[in-house]
C-alpha cells in the first residue's frame, strides 16, 4: 500500500533523509520511532506529498507521490493524516470540519457528507458534540474529531505524527483506544509515536530512525526483545 524506496531529502545543504526505504502492506501497522530530529515528521510528510524530496520514490496504492503528473490534493485526500497539533478549522463547527473536504475535494453532496461524517463522529464516541466548535472540546476530543475527519475521506491508509504527544496524560488513552480500534479493523497505518504500549499492542513492525536513516525495521517483538543497533537499545532504555 505504501512503498518508500531509497528516499533522499535535503534542506539546503543538510541531508535530512538518507536512503529511506519502508514497505507497508495493506493492513500493516508500522510504528516509527527515534530521537527528536531524526527525520520522522519529514518522512511522513513526504509520504503525504506535503514535503518534496529530491531522490527516490514513494508509491501509494499504485500512485507515485513524486510524479509531477500526480494530482496531489486528490492523493492526499486518500491518505488520512493526523498531526501532533490538532488542525481542526477553528471557525467551523465540528460537523462542518467533518464535511468540508468531502464536499470540496471528493464532490460529495452535503447530505452524503454529513451522513458519513456523523457516522465516524459516532465511532469516535463524540456524536453529542456535532454542533460545537473545536475550542469547546478538550484536546483529546479534538484529536478524535481529527481522526473522524480523516476517516470520512475513505482513506486507503492513515498516517499519524505523534498524535498524543501534545495531550494531557489523561487524554492520551482515549485517542490511543480509537487508534487501536482502527488497527484491529485492518486499517493500514504508519504511526510516529513514542507510545510503546500502543506499538506492542498493535504494531506488526517497528521502524527506528536516527539521523535521517532507518536503523532498524523489524517485527515488534524482535524490536522490544533485542534491538540490533546500539542506538535503538539506548533509545529503548530511556523510554521504557
Which residues bind to Mg ion, rule: CB under 5 A? 41
* Cβ-based nearer residue to ligand ADP, 38 or 220: 38
Question: CB under 6 A: which stretch of 32-40, 149-157, 182-190, 218-226 binds ligand ADP?
Answer: 32-40
CA distance 164 to 100: 24
Q: Are strands 157-161 and 189-192 parallel, antiparallel or unpaired?
A: parallel
* Cβ-based nearer residue to ligand ADP, 34 or 80: 34
Instruction: Tell me the closest approach of the beta carbon of residue 84 to Mg ion, in angstroms.
Output: 7
* Cβ-based nearer residue to Mg ion, 41 or 48: 41
Question: CB under 6 A: which stretch of 37-45, 86-94, 102-110, 170-178 binds ligand ADP?
Answer: 37-45
Residue 102's binding partner, choosing from ligand ADP, Mg ion, none, with beta-carbon cut-off 5 to 8 A by kind?
none
85: nearest Cα among 9, 180, 160: 160
Judged by CB under 6 A, does residue 231 bind ligand ADP?
Answer: no
Judged by CB under 6 A, does residue 193 bind ligand ADP?
Answer: no
- Interface residue with ligand ADP among 13, 36, 237, 238 (CB under 6 A) is 36
Question: CB under 6 A: which stretch of 30-38, 76-84, 146-154, 228-236 binds ligand ADP?
Answer: 30-38
CA distance 137 to 139: 7
Residue 16's binding partner, choosing from Mg ion, ligand ADP, none, with beta-carbon cut-off 5 to 8 A by kind?
ligand ADP
Binding site for ligand ADP (CB under 6 A): 11, 16, 34, 36-42
Amino acid at each position: 500500500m505504501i512503498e518508500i524506496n531509497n528516499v533522499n531529502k535535503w534542506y539546503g545543504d543538510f541531508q535530512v533523509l538518507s536512503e529511506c526505504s519502508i514497505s507497508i502492506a495493506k493492513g500493516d501497522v508500522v510504528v516509527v520511532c527515534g530521537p527528536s530530529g531524526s527525520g520522522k515528521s519529514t518522512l511522513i510528510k513526504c509520504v503525504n506529498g506535503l514535503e518534496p524530496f529530491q531522490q527516490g520514490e514513494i508509491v501509494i496504492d499504485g500512485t507515485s507521490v513524486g510524479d509531477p503528473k500526480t494530482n496531489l490534493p486528490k492523493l492526499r485526500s486518500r491518505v488520512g493524516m493526523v498531526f501532533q497539533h490538532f488542525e481542526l478549522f477553528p471557525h467551523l463547527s465540528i460537523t462542518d470540519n467533518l464535511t468540508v473536504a468531502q464536499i470540496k475535494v471528493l464532490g460529495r453532496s452535503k447530505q452524503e457528507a454529513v451522513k458519513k461524517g456523523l457516522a465516524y463522529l459516532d465511532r469516535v464516541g463524540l456524536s453529542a458534540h456535532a454542533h460545537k466548535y473545536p475550542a469547546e472540546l478538550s484536546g483529546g476530543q479534538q484529536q478524535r474529531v481529527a481522526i473522524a475527519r480523516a476517516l470520512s475521506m475513505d482513506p486507503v491508509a492513515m498516517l499519524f505524527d505523534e498524535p498524543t504527544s501534545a495531550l494531557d496524560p489523561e487524554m492520551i488513552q482515549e485517542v490511543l483506544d480509537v487508534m487501536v480500534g482502527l488497527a484491529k479493523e485492518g486499517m493500514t497505518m504508519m504511526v510516529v509515536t513514542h507510545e510503546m504500549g500502543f506499538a506492542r499492542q498493535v504494531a506488526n513492525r517497528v521502524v527506528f530512525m536516527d539521523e535521517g536513516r532507518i536503523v532498524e525495521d523489524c517485527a515488534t517483538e524482535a524490536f522490544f526483545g533485542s534491538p540490533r543497533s546500539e542506538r535503538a537499545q539506548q533509545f529503548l532504555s530511556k523510554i521504557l
